[in-house]
Amino acid sequence: MTAKRVSVLLLGAALVVSATLPFTSWYIASAGVVDDTDQALLVSDLKTQGARITYHRQTQKVNFISVTPQSPIIVSGTSVAAAPANNAMAALQTYGALFGLQDPASELRVKKQRTSAAGRRSMVRYQQVHKGIPVIGGELNVNMDRNGGLLSMNGEISPQLSLGVRPVFAAKDARHKALAAVAKWHQVSVNQLSTSARELSVYDPRLLSPSDFPASLVWRLEVSATDRTLPIREFVLVDAALGHIVLHFNQVHRAKNRNTYDAGGTANLPGTLVCNEASGDACSSGANATGLEIDTSSTGMVKIAIKSYSHGKLMKNRQRETEKRVIKQLLTLKDRVNNALQPEAKGGGGV
C-alpha cells in the first residue's frame, strides 16, 4: 500500500469521526443518555463511598441507594442556599439514569416535599410522568442533608417508555365499562354505583407485581357504592386503546365477626358463648386464650391442659392435621417430663 493511499484512508476516517462526534455529544447532553459503561462507573463510585445499592427484579434498574448520615454523597450542583427541590434534581441529574430516567427534569414532577423541624434533612417525592401523563407506581424519593449531600434515593421507574398518549377508547366509554363490571362483580345495580373522575395514566404492571406485559395507556377511576354501608370502592384501570379492564381491586377490606363457643368437652353444641371478634382481644388473652397450661402437682406428675378455640363451623384439613401434630408433640412432652420426675416422686421428693 502506497503512502498516498494511506493518507487518503486516514483523511477519510478523520472526516467520518469529525462528522460523527458533534451529533453524539449533542445527543448525550440533551437527552441525558448514559450508557452501560457510565452506569457501571457511577455504581462503582457510589460503592466506593460506602453506598448500599439494590435493584428492581423486574426492570433490572436500581431502586435504592443509601448511605449513613455521617457520610453523605457529595453531589455536584448542590449548595446550602439552594431549595431542597433544586438540590434533589441535581442529584437526579447525576444518578437518575441508574433508575431508568433519561431526562429527569421532563420525566418527573414534584409530588411532595418536606423539611425536618430542625432543617437538617429534606425529602422530595417525585411522580414519574410520560409526556405529561402520570405513571402509576412510578415514584422516586430523594433525601438530602442541609448541606445538599445525598442520603438516599429510592423508588421505581418505568424505563424507556415510548407509547403514545392519545386514547382510542373514550373516557365515557371507560366509565360505562367499569360500572357494568363492578355491578356484575358485586351483584348490585349500576344505579347503586358512582364513579370518580377519569384520569388518563400509564400503567406498567412490572411496578406493582411480577409481569411480562408491557406498559399501556389506561383510564384510571374509582367505582363506589352510593350507599356507604355497601363495601364497594373498586380501583379500576381500563385500557385506553382496547377498552378492556387490565386491573381492578376493592379498596374496602372485609372483616369477619365470628363467635367462639366452648362445649366443655361435651356433645352439647354449640355450647356456651365465650367471646367474639367484636369483643376485642377477649379470645386471645386471659382465661379464654388459646394456649398450654402446665400444672405440677404435689405428686411430681405434670398435667397438661390444652385449650384451643377455633372460629367458624368448618376447619380445613390442613389445620386439623397441624393441630393433631401439635397435640401429639405436647403429649410426648408430657410423658418425657413425667418420666424425668418419676424417681423424685417415688422418693417422696415432689415439687
Residues 108 and 206 in one domain: no
Q: From 132, 156, 180, give the residue that closes a domain.
A: 156
Query: For residue 245, is pLDDT > 90?
Result: yes
Please indicate whether residue 281 or residue 31 has the higher confidence score (pLDDT).
281
- Which of 196, 231, 250 is the last residue before a domain boundary? 250
Query: Are 32 and 152 in a shared domain?
Result: yes
Tell me if 87 is assigned to some domain. Answer: yes
Residue-wise pLDDT for 329-349, tens only, equals 667 776 776 666 665 544 444
> Are 50 and 128 members of one domain?
yes
Q: How many CA atoms lie within 13 A of 179 on its CB side?
A: 17
Question: Which pLDDT value is given to residue 30?
Answer: 32
User: Are 296 and 331 in the same domain?
Assistant: yes
Instruction: State the residue range of the domain holding 213.
Output: 171-250
pLDDT of residue 263: 81
Q: Assign residue 243 the CATH number of its domain.
A: 3.10.450
Q: Is residue 32 domain-shared with residue 145, that is, in the same domain?
A: yes
85-89, 114-118, 199-203: least confident range: 114-118
* pLDDT at position 173 over 90: yes
318 falls within a domain: yes
State whether 57 and 140 are in the same domain: yes
Highest mean pLDDT among 23-27, 225-229, 245-249, 269-273: 245-249
**Do 194 and 268 fall within a single domain?**
no
What whole-number distance in Å separates Cα of residue 252 and Cα of residue 254? 7
Say what the pLDDT of residue 15 is: 39
Cα separation, 126 vs 99, in Å, equals 13
| Mean pLDDT in residue range 84-107 | 96
The pLDDT assigned to 125 comes to: 98
Do both 140 and 203 map to the same domain? Answer: no
* 4 located within any domain: no
Helix (H) or strand (E) holding 245: strand 245-250
Domain count, the chain: 4
Q: Would you state the pLDDT for residue 23?
A: 29
pLDDT band at 178 (very low <50, low <70, confident <90, very high): very high
Residue 1 lies in a domain: no
Residue 228 covered by a domain: yes
Mean pLDDT of 316-339: 65
Q: What is the pLDDT of residues 53-80, one digit of tens each?
A: 999 999 999 999 999 999 999 999 999 9
Count of positions (residues) in the chain: 351
Whether 201 contacts 133, CB under 8 Å: yes
Residue 245 maps to a domain: yes
How does residue 295 score in pLDDT terms, banded at 50, 70 and 90?
Answer: very low
Mean pLDDT is highest, among 45-49, 150-154, 282-286, 326-330, for 150-154
SS in 3 state form for 206-252?
A: HHCCCCCCCCEEEEEEEEEECCCCCCCEEEEEEECCCCCEEEEEECC
Q: What mean pLDDT is reported for the chain?
A: 80
**Domain assignment present for 35:** yes
CA distance 215 to 238: 13
Q: If you average pLDDT over residues 87-116, what whole number do you get?
A: 96
Higher pLDDT, 194 or 311: 194
- 140 and 91 in a common domain: yes
Residue 300 lies in a domain: yes
> What confidence score (pLDDT) does residue 340 get?
67
Instruction: Say whether both 281 and 326 belong to one domain.
Output: no
Judged against a pLDDT cut of 80, whether residue 177 lies above it is answered with: yes
Q: Which residue has the higher pLDDT, 215 or 270?
A: 215
pLDDT band at residue 174 using 50, 70 and 90 as cut-offs: very high
Query: Do 52 and 101 share a domain, yes or no?
Result: yes
If asked whether residues 78 and 144 sit together in one domain, one would say: yes
**Would you say 59 and 156 are in contact if contact means Cβ atoms under 8 Å apart?**
yes
Phi, psi of 349 (to 5 degrees): -100, 40
Please say if the pLDDT value at position 312 is more than 50: no
pLDDT at 326: 66
Please give the pLDDT value at position 136: 97
